[in-house]
C-alpha cells in the first residue's frame, strides 16, 4: 500500500514501525460549535483508511483529540454565558452521534486537553531545558531558529513565515514567527496553574503532548485537513522532535478542502452547512459515497445534485447485492448446481480481476473514486451473469462475499427499511384479499407478494395486477426479477 506523504511530497510504501500495529493520530474537533460537513469529509476519509488497514490485518490504534481549550471556546462562552465544560461536552457528544450515523468507527481514545495539562507542562519544561523555548512576560514561546528543519512540511522558508507572522506583533518574542507553548492569563474563564503562572496551553503543544502519551513512540500516521499543515502540523513537528529527540511521525496524510458553491464555508456568506443539516436532508450512505467519489486529497464542492445521484447509486448498489444473494440462493438448489460452462469461467475471471482492481486502487494512495468504479463494474458484470438465468451458486457466493467486503471498507452500511406508517395499509389489504393473519407487517407484505406470484402462475393477471397496483398506491413498488424465484419490493 502506498500513501502520499505530505512531508516528502511523494507517495511512499506504507510500513508501520511495529509489525501489524499502526499508531494513527487524527486531529479532532474544537467543539465550540456544531460539527460541519467539512469535518465529516475528513473523518470519513480517515475512516476508510482505518478500515482498509484493518482489512489488511493491521491493528489500528486510533487517537483523536478533543481541543476543549481554545480562544474560540472562550469567546463563545463570553458571548453566551455558557459553561466551557458543558459547551464542549455537549457539542462533542452530538458530533459523535452524527459520526456514528455516518458509520465512522470511533477512535480508541478521545483525549481532552483539560485532562492532560500535566503532560503539556512537562513537555514545555523539557523544551525550555533543551534551549528550544523561552519565557517572556506574555508566555512561553518556541524558538523556531533552534529547529533547523522548520518549514519542511509546509515548504515555506523562514522569511515567508516571518512575513506572515508580522500581523500579530508581540515585542516580547525573540522572533515574530516564534509560537506560543503557554499563554499567560489572569482571571480568564479557562486557565490553569503552571511554573510560569496561571495560563493555558498554546494550540500546537496540546497535540504533541497527547499523541506522545498514548502512542509512546513515533506515530505511523498523523492526519488532518489540509489547512492544518501550517502552522499547526509544522509546529507539532518542531516542538515534538525538539522535545523527544527523534522523529515525530513517519506519514503525514492530509485531506482536501470542501467548498460550498465554490467558496470556503462561512456563516457570513450564508453557505455554512452543519453535519446535522446535511444528515437531515440526505441518507448517511449517500453522504459517505458523495465524499468518497472524490479522491481524499482533491478539493470537493458540496453539491445537492451530486448527493441525489449518490443516493440513487447507493440504492443500485444494495439492490444489486440483493439480487446476487437471491440468485446465489436460487442457484444452490437449481438444476445447474456444480456444473461449469464457459460463461461461468468467463465470469469468474472477470469478477476476480475487478475485485483485484478494487484493492489495487485503494493501495494506490486510497484512490476511492477508481475503487468505486471497479465495484460498479463488478455489480454490472454480476447482473449480466444473473440475467442469463444460468448462474452458478458458488461463483455468486464468492462475488457476494467480495462485494460485502468492499462495502465494509467503504463504510456503506446496509440498512433494512421498515414499512413504518405503511404497515396498517398492508395489513388491511391482506385482510381484504382474504389472506392469512401474519405477526408482522413484513410477513404481511411477503404474503401479499406470494399471493401475487400465485395469481401470475395461475395466469390470473387481473388479480396479480390488482395487488401490484394497490401496493403501489400504498407506496410499495414490486419488481419482478427473472430467474430469482419471485418478486422484490422497495419503498417508493
**213, 65: one domain:** yes
The reply to whether 439 and 470 lie within a common domain is yes
Label residue 409 by pLDDT band (50, 70, 90).
very high
Q: Judge if 385 and 432 occupy the same domain.
A: no
Residue 112: which pLDDT band, with cuts at 50, 70 and 90? very high
Whether 77 is in a domain gets the answer yes
CA-nearest of 258, 261, 279, 280 to 269 is 261
pLDDT at 57 over 90: yes
Residue 483 has pLDDT above 60, yes or no: no
| Residues 201 and 320 both lie in one domain | no
Query: Residue 260 — pLDDT band, cuts 50, 70, 90?
Result: very high
Q: Do residues 132 and 24 both lie within one domain?
A: yes
- With a cut of 80, say whether residue 337 has pLDDT above it: no
pLDDT of residue 336: 53
Q: What is the DSSP letter of 364?
A: B
Q: Give the integer Cα–Cα distance in Å for 160 and 156.
A: 6
- CA dihedral (146, 151, 157, 159) in degrees, to 10, reads -60
- Do 355 and 438 sit in the same domain of this protein? no
Please say which residue of 191, 225, 255 terminates a domain: 255
Question: What's the CA gap between 212 and 333, in Å, rounded?
Answer: 57
Prior bond of 231 cis (ω within 30°): yes
For residues 48 and 366, the answer to whether their CB atoms sit within 8 Å is yes
Q: Residue 274 falls within a domain, yes or no?
A: no
Which pLDDT score is estimated for 48?
A: 98
Asked whether residue 364 falls in the same domain as residue 424, the answer is: no
Domains of the chain: total: 3
Q: Is the pLDDT of residue 411 over 80?
A: yes
Could you list the residue range(s) of the whole structural domain that residue 132 is in? 2-255
**464 and 486 part of one domain:** yes
Asked if 353 and 224 sit in the same domain, the reply is no
Asked whether residue 136 falls in the same domain as residue 250, the answer is yes
Stretch among 92-101, 166-175, 377-386 having the lowest mean pLDDT? 166-175
Domain boundary pick from 361, 377, 410: 410
385 in a domain, yes or no? yes
Residues 449 and 470 in one domain: yes
Cβ pair 196, 225 in contact under 8 A:
no
* Average pLDDT for the chain: 92
The reply to whether 482 falls in a domain is yes
Does residue 196 belong to any structural domain of this protein? Answer: yes
Considering the domain architecture, whether residues 310 and 247 belong to the same structural domain is answered as no
Residue 261: pLDDT band (50, 70, 90) is: confident
pLDDT tens figures, 131-184: 999 999 999 999 999 999 999 999 988 787 777 655 556 778 999 999 999 999
User: What CATH number is attached to the domain comprising 105?
Assistant: 3.40.50.620
- pTM for the full model? 0.87
Q: Containing H/E element for 26? A: strand 21-26
Rounded to whole angstroms, the Cα distance separating 157 from 336 reads 70
Amino acid at each position: 500500500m502506498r500513501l502520499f506523504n505530505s512531508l516528502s511530497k511523494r507517495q511512499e510504501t506504507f510500513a508501520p514501525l511495529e509489525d501489524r500495529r499502526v499508531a494513527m493520530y487524527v486531529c479532532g474537533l474544537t467543539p465550540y460549535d456544531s460539527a460541519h460537513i467539512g469535518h465529516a469529509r475528513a473523518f470519513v476519509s480517515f475512516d476508510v483508511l482505518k478500515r482498509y488497514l484493518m482489512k489488511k490485518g493491521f491493528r489500528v490504534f486510533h487517537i483523536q483529540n478533543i481541543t476543549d481549550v481554545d480562544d474560540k471556546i472562550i469567546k463563545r462562552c463570553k458571548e453566551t454565558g455558557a459553561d466551557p465544560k458543558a459547551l464542549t461536552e455537549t457539542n462533542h457528544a452530538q458530533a459523535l452521534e452524527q459520526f456514528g450515523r455516518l458509520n465512522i468507527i470511533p477512535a480508541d481514545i478521545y483525549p481532552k486537553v483539560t485532562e492532560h495539562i500535566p503532560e503539556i507542562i512537562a513537555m514545555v519544561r523539557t523544551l525550555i531545558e533543551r534551549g528550544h523555548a523561552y519565557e517572556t512576560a506574555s508566555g512561553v514561546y518556541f524558538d523556531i531558529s533552534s529547529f533547523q528543519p522548520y518549514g519542511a512540511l509546509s515548504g515555506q522558508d523562514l522569511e515567508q513565515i516571518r512575513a506572515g507572522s508580522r500581523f500579530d506583533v508581540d515585542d516580547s518574542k525573540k522572533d515574530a514567527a516564534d509560537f506560543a507553548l503557554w499563554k499567560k492569563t489572569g482571571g480568564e474563564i479557562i486557565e490553569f496553574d503552571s511554573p510560569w503562572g496561571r495560563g493555558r496551553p498554546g494550540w500546537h503543544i496540546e497535540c504533541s503532548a497527547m499523541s506522545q502519551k498514548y502512542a509512546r513512540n513515533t506515530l505511523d500516521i498523523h492526519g488532518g485537513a489540509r489547512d492544518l499543515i501550517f502552522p499547526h502540523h509544522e509546529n507539532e513537528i518542531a516542538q515534538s522532535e525538539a522535545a523527544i529527540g527523534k522523529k515525530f511521525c513517519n506519514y503525514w496524510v492530509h485531506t482536501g478542502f470542501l467548498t460550498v458553491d465554490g467558496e470556503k464555508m462561512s456563516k457570513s456568506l450564508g453557505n455554512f452547512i452543519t453535519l446535522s443539516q446535511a444528515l437531515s436532508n440526505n441518507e448517511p450512505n449517500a453522504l459517505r459515497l458523495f465524499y468518497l467519489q472524490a479522491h481524499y486529497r482533491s478539493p470537493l464542492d458540496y453539491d445537492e445534485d451530486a448527493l441525489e445521484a449518490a443516493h440513487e447509486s447507493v440504492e443500485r448498489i444494495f439492490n444489486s447485492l440483493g439480487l446476487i444473494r437471491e440468485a446465489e440462493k436460487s442457484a444452490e438448489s437449481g438444476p445447474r448446481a456444480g456444473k461449469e460452462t464457459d460463461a461461468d469461467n468467463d465470469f469468474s475471471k472477470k469478477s476476480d480481476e475487478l475485485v483485484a482492481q478494487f484493492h489495487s486502487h485503494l493501495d494506490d494512495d486510497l484512490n476511492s473514486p477508481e475503487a468505486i468504479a471497479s465495484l460498479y463494474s463488478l455489480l454490472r458484470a454480476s447482473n449480466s451473469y444473473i440475467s442469463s438465468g444460468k448462474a452458478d451458486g458458488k461463483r455468486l457466493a464468492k462475488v457476494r462475499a467480495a462485494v460485502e467486503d468492499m462495502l465494509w471498507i467503504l463504510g456503506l452500511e446496509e440498512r433494512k427499511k421498515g414499512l413504518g406508517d405503511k404497515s396498517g395499509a398492508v395489513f388491511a389489504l391482506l385482510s381484504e384479499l382474504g389472506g392469512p393473519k401474519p405477526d408482522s407487517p413484513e410477513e404481511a407484505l411477503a404474503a401479499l407478494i406470494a399471493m401475487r406470484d400465485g395469481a401470475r402462475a395461475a395466469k390470473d393477471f387481473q388479480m396479480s395486477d390488482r395487488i401490484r397496483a394497490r401496493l403501489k398506491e400504498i407506496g410499495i413498488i414490486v419488481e419482478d426479477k427473472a430467474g430469482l424465484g419471485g418478486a422484490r419490493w422497495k419503498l417508493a
